[in-house]
Amino acid sequence: MTQGAGVDDPTPLKRRCGTGFDRKFPPCSIAYAIASVQFYLHEVATLVMCSSLLLMYGGSVPGSTRGPVLGASSVGVPAGAVLIAYMILRAPGSHA
């Protein structure tokens, strides 16, 4: 049976996201989109930041080149952390 369409469900029209995402149900698709953006933003920014720091301390790239890249990635990592905090606080059953 599909989620939200069970015989024992008193409200068959109300779907809940739960642990699995139903991408066709708007609240779940928004949660899926936020989760995807958070994951890729944080992972890419962390990879770029680590690479930039390695190049900075290795001295192989001039400061005028690595500065903007390091600055952009240092904004992306906290932005990903803010999104994960938002998802945790908005999760069903969280009492924070």
Per-position pLDDT tens, the chain of length 96: 455 555 555 544 445 555 555 556 666 677 778 888 899 999 999 999 999 888 888 888 887 888 888 888 999 999 999 999 988 888 767 665
Q: Could you identify the residue written with the tokens 């069903």?
A: 92
Cα–Cα distance between 19 and 92 in angstroms, integer? 10
Tell whether pTM > 0.85: no
Query: Which one, of 6, 91, 88, 32, lies nearest residue 14 by Cα?
Result: 6
Helix (H) or strand (E) holding 54: helix 26-58
What's the rounded Cα separation, in Å, for the pair 20 and 49?
32
Query: What pLDDT score was predicted for residue 21?
Result: 53
Q: Which two tokens stand for residue 38?
A: 């958070």
